[in-house]
Amino acid sequence: MSSGGGQDVITTLGPGADFRHDYDYLAGYKDRSDRELERLLRFRRHSEGATRGAIEERVAEHFDSLRRRLFESPYYRRVLSSGGLSPRDLGRVSDLAAFPTLSRAILGEHWREIPVVDEESRDYCDAALVRSSGSTGAPIQIVRDGYDLVHMWTMVRYWAIVAEVDLPPAPVVVLLCDLPSGLEYQSRLPTLDGGMLYRISTRQRCPQKRLASADPDILFSDPSGLHWLLGQGDVPTPRMVLSSAQYLGPAMRDETTRRLGSPVINYYSSSETGPIAWECLGRPGHFHVLLPDVWVESLMGELVVTRLRPSLVPLLRYRMGDAGQVAFDECDCGYRGLTISGFSGRRACEFVGPDGDRVDAWKLARLFKHRALDGFRLTQVDRCEFCLELLSADGGTDGGHRDIDQELIAALKRLGWRDPKVTVEYPRELTVRGPKPQPFCRQFDG
């Protein structure tokens, strides 16, 4: 990554995410968070008869920042010039079709050249080098600037307004985590009106007691954590629940809403782009795009995202690897803009239990989180037989995962299988049907 003079300054960034117990430094982003929130809310206030053309014109007003970043990015200067293009050619939404896409592999290879470093910028000074989750392959390096690291708290405030949730002063936020690391911490949240964040691990002792003691106003988790929570006798009653990262089926969302008495915001996001869309509370399966933060296209059935929110890392037509269709929408909820439907990035998969009941395969996702894997696929090949394919990150035949079959068998027994059979294989690659790997699948009709 270099500035305009070509100096390599990536070495000034830390080797990983900068974890801080005291988040007072975030207070410097409170004013920007307020401005970004107001921008999102202004864009949401479309008239009832707003047309796609009018909305595209308003989106194009936010191209200025992206054009400036493209001019300053060493990678984009080279790539656009070689294709006979200039950032000045990006004037309207329809112009995007002439510009090249950015794949995950290219981002992983050129992550040093894509960011734009302004050495006078506070965003640059607070930047961190992080790794993506690696859910679709080996993790890649990602640069996040200072505001990227706090943008989610702006979105929490936005979704509270969308869901008509009244947050109290200094709200309590709980991140309910089901990852094997068992990491727990607490910190202040100056960008969320001085609230408090508690990370509570289900892997530590007595998590229910700590969760009850925190008494959250906002609960973050993923479907794996929500599966755990709904299996407990007593559950909290937060004002709002947010879920991401895995497939959240309508039945699971409805049960969470009923048990916790809270609206569930199921949002679509990635480590590379940040939040992209959220699932309509009234129409399951329809994800409203966060205009004007991002613009989303469907390119031969694959979702492609252009980030318009200012950032050190310009993302122009980034290929998500997720399938879906994008269309202009005038939703009954009041949303006017782009909506993603047929979204299959987090594909549902139901295994068939011994008694014929359907079992959500994503309940097993916790077994594979944060293992050193380049990929995996669990296939139900018969009523009580499963095949687990592992791509080991270190290239070994067992990859240090000799225990995973026993852990999987134990988990299947907890879900109702009396004597499940698990075969573990280590292929050189996983055959992928469609734009993205499918970690859980079933090969028989049941």
Structural domain spans, the chain = 1-133+275-343, 350-442
Please give the radius of gyration of the chain, using alpha carbons only, rounded to the nearest integer: 22
pTM of the model: 0.78
Asked if 273 and 307 count as a contact pair (C-beta separation under 8 A), the reply is: yes
**Burial class of residue 48 in the structure, from the number of CB atoms within 10 Å of its CB (0-12 exposed, 13-18 middle, 19+ buried):** exposed
What does the pLDDT profile of the chain (446 residues) look like in tens digits?
A: 333 333 333 333 333 333 344 456 677 889 999 999 999 999 988 877 789 999 999 999 999 999 999 999 999 999 999 999 999 999 999 999 999 999 988 998 899 999 987 766 777 777 788 776 544 445 678 888 889 988 999 999 999 999 999 999 999 999 998 776 678 888 888 888 889 999 999 888 999 999 999 999 999 998 888 988 998 888 999 999 999 877 788 888 999 999 999 999 999 998 899 999 999 999 999 999 999 999 999 998 889 999 999 999 999 999 988 888 999 999 999 899 999 998 765 555 789 998 888 887 877 877 776 566 767 889 999 999 999 998 765 555 555 566 888 989 998 998 889 999 999 998 887 765 544 557 788 888 76
Crossing angle of helices 30-44 and 151-162, in 10° steps, is 40
Top CATH class of 1-133+275-343 equals alpha beta
Asked if 150 and 309 count as a contact pair (C-beta separation under 8 A), the reply is: no
DSSP 119: T
* ω into 139 cis (within 30 of 0): no
pLDDT in tens, 356-383: 888 878 778 777 765 667 678 899 999 9
Residues 6+ apart with CB under 8 A from 213: none
CA distance 158 to 173: 15
CA distance 394 to 374: 9
The β-bridge partners of 221 are 243
CA distance 133 to 275: 15
* ω into 169 cis (within 30 of 0): no
Q: What are residue 362's phi and psi, to 5 degrees?
A: -65, -10
Residues 6+ apart with CB under 8 A from 25: 126
pLDDT in tens, 393-406: 555 555 556 688 89
Q: Which pair of structure tokens corresponds to residue 1?
A: 């990554």
Considering the four listed CATH numbers 2.20.28, 1.10.20, 3.30.300, 1.20.120, the one that applies to the domain covering 350-442 is 3.30.300
